[in-house]
Structure 1
């Protein structure tokens, strides 16, 4: 009988240790079919590389610990192969092939499952939205009636996408995905709605880093709408001198929020340059407000793309008060 007790106690200890070990952190094991040995894979958070490793026999692995479910990105360095992923302290698998990287199958993350629910409903909408936008932007042969019809379709798509995201956030107060939805739409949606959705979230989610950012946003003034006077702000320029928007002498000021890592922002630069050089002698000024966090990357981008207008940044990414 004593032997049985000892065996039971040993089993309990082993199970307890196993569970404790499992909860200590995450292990992300990946397979990339077709990837060559020494392919560099990066794990990024908010555009910052937090870890990197090499592929060997089409496999890679990351390990670490997060305080809460955290949205990150798995990417192959210097390529367009990247895939968002929710990391939790669990064993997570990542399976894909080199030609369909963004379609990677992810298992072992409950938050990722929740994200997939939203993604499956919105992916086709986003694809359609981009396709219509490109037609409107580049096809110069379409008539005004067709252009107006396409504009109406974009509004319908945007409304449906908004509805899907709102419903998920409203019906899933225990999910960090809901927090991300609220965070990324806080400047797009009505502030009262943001406040109501945020208040419905679990306390531990509201107390997270993203939650604190939303709280700060809600403490600020009401959302400006088209026609309102701008909210003044100041930030340092490339020489460290504080530049205040209200002190810039110009009849028209175009404020361009951008970042060195933002592909769509970079694509818009030629159009901004064209307008700037055409109207700068007629009271038109451009102020580039960078959301970079790296001073070096910010300044290098200014030099690379020859941005010869006013450039300012507090290097705080989306946490900059100017964004709010």
Structure 2
């Protein structure tokens, strides 16, 4: 196991960021990175690189504020349009740190899987990450027992057990993160923990959920100039539009006759909006429920619209072959990029189903199966 030791240097240094790194000879560079904030992705921009000479490196960085979140990393896994990304399992290749005027000097092994710190801010943050890792589903003994039981008996309720266990683990993670953020609200690392770890776990379904997130963000107003703050503010506003009570964003779609339509053209009707794709098995399970609600309320002011995110004509073939899908259908226009659209519409899984009012306001979100009919019946 490799160990990385970081020291917050108290004396004046020639280089603000420097260190020794025990990498193999084929690794030539270490990179100074900052997160992308223009396209709201998980990518990084490379702002500098340092050639590793005799296992040492340095950066002459001009720190203009009292502190800054930086990321040091080895070569990113892949690039796209001048942005650089690490794969989900490559967290050992980079490390986010808090840089202060005292600078950082580090002594590293071959990766960032283990780190020892002497300054309290980076030390406490690293302890948090280790606790979160211990709480991961893959490290949970109960999860291992469920998987072993499934391999032996093929239990039908395995998915339900895993779902309940994951919900329990996420609750523990949320409490751990909230405690850390409250205790460390005076430094940007807690803001980074909020953005990277707590925000994805929290409910964003109702107006009350959004108000709670806004209150949390307001406690970090002194860091409003940081990219991580702006990213959180953007995401909270995005979910505010998709939450119950929000005005759902307008979008375009191609119908089965290859005509372009706007969702806003259906204002005046209640709209049940279903996002799906061709090979999505959970999406197929929703079809009988969508058909039931369509047939019951089609003449009472409800418009059921299934919006496919498939490219080309695959979705049309599915609609034609699936004779149950007798309601209205749209698909993503050819000139629309999928990821920005799904991000803008708060789509994190498929299917995603919204119920909209005649004014385009979100009445219900994250509907599924039995809850679809129940939710719609409340308005008729």
Q: Structure 1 residues 103 and 215, CA, compared in 2 at 3 Å: closer, same or farther?
A: closer
How far does residue 43 in structure 1 lie from its aligned partner after superposition? 2.2
CA displacement 1:240-271 (0-9 Å, x = unmatched) = xxx9872799x84349xxxxxxxxxxxxxxxx
**CA–CA distance in 1 between the matches of 2:261 and 2:174?**
34
Give the secondary-structure state (helix, strand or coil) at the position aligned to 1:144.
coil
Are the equivalent residues in 2 in contact too, given 1:41–1:77 (CA < 8 A)? no
Judging by fraction of residues, say which structure has more helix. 1
Higher RCO (C-alpha 8 Å, min separation 6): 2
Q: Which residue of 2 aligns with 1:152?
A: 164
Q: Which residue of 1 aligns with 2:228?
A: 210
How far does residue 112 in structure 1 lie from its aligned partner after superposition? 1.8
Q: Which residue of 1 aligns with 2:257?
A: none
Q: 1:176 aligns with which of 188, 197, 206?
A: 188
Q: Structure 1 residues 129 and 45, CA, compared in 2 at 3 Å: closer, same or farther?
A: farther
**CA–CA distance in 2 between the matches of 1:254 and 1:245?**
18
Q: Which residue of 2 aligns with 1:64?
A: 61
Taking the TM superposition and a 5 Å limit, the aligned residue runs for 1:193-208 are 193-201=212-220, 203-208=221-226
CA displacement 1:250-301 (0-9 Å, x = unmatched) = x84349xxxxxxxxxxxxxxxx979x9477541776659xxxxxxxxxxxxx
Q: Structure 1 residues 120 and 220, CA, compared in 2 at 3 Å: closer, same or farther?
A: closer
How far does residue 36 in structure 1 lie from its aligned partner after superposition? 0.7
Give the secondary-structure state (helix, strand or coil) at the position aligned to 1:64.
coil
Q: Is 1:162 the equivalent of 2:174?
A: yes
Q: Structure 1 residues 230 and 155, CA, compared in 2 at 3 Å: closer, same or farther?
A: farther
Consecutive unaligned residues in structure 2, runs of 5 or more = 1-8, 36-43, 78-85, 204-208, 253-259, 267-272, 278-308, 320-327, 348-380
Give the secondary-structure state (helix, strand or coil) at the position aligned to 1:49.
strand
Are the equivalent residues in 2 in contact too, given 1:29–1:94 (CA < 8 A)? yes
Taking the TM superposition and a 5 Å limit, the aligned residue runs for 1:1-324 are 26-32=16-22, 34-36=23-25, 39-46=28-35, 47-66=44-63, 67=65, 68-76=67-75, 78=77, 80=90, 82-89=93-100, 90-98=102-110, 101-105=111-115, 107=117, 110-126=120-136, 128=138, 132=143, 142-184=154-196, 185-186=198-199, 188-189=202-203, 190-201=209-220, 203-215=221-233, 222=240, 224=242, 231-233=248-250, 246=263, 252-254=274-276, 277=314, 281-282=318-319, 287=332, 310-312=336-338
**CA–CA distance in 1 between the matches of 2:249 and 2:75?**
40
Q: Structure 1 residues 20 and 120, CA, compared in 2 at 3 Å: closer, same or farther?
A: closer
**CA–CA distance in 2 between the matches of 1:219 and 1:278?**
31
How far does residue 199 in structure 1 lie from its aligned partner after superposition? 3.0
How far does residue 161 in structure 1 lie from its aligned partner after superposition? 0.7
Give the secondary-structure state (helix, strand or coil) at the position aligned to 1:163.
helix
Q: Structure 1 residues 146 and 168, CA, compared in 2 at 3 Å: closer, same or farther?
A: same
Give the TM-score normalised by structure 2.
0.51
Give the secondary-structure state (helix, strand or coil) at the position aligned to 2:24.
coil
**CA–CA distance in 2 between the matches of 1:280 and 1:95?**
58
Are the equivalent residues in 1 in contact too, given 2:30–2:49 (CA < 8 A)? yes
Give the secondary-structure state (helix, strand or coil) at the position aligned to 1:103.
coil
Are the equivalent residues in 2 in contact too, given 1:35–1:58 (CA < 8 A)? no
Consecutive unaligned residues in structure 1, runs of 5 or more = 1-17, 236-242, 256-271, 289-307
Give the number of equivalent residue pairs. Answer: 254
**CA–CA distance in 2 between the matches of 1:229 and 1:92?**
44
**CA–CA distance in 2 between the matches of 1:115 and 1:148?**
33
How far does residue 102 in structure 1 lie from its aligned partner after superposition? 2.6
Give the secondary-structure state (helix, strand or coil) at the position aligned to 1:86.
strand
Q: Structure 1 residues 49 and 286, CA, compared in 2 at 3 Å: closer, same or farther?
A: farther
Give the secondary-structure state (helix, strand or coil) at the position aligned to 1:94.
strand
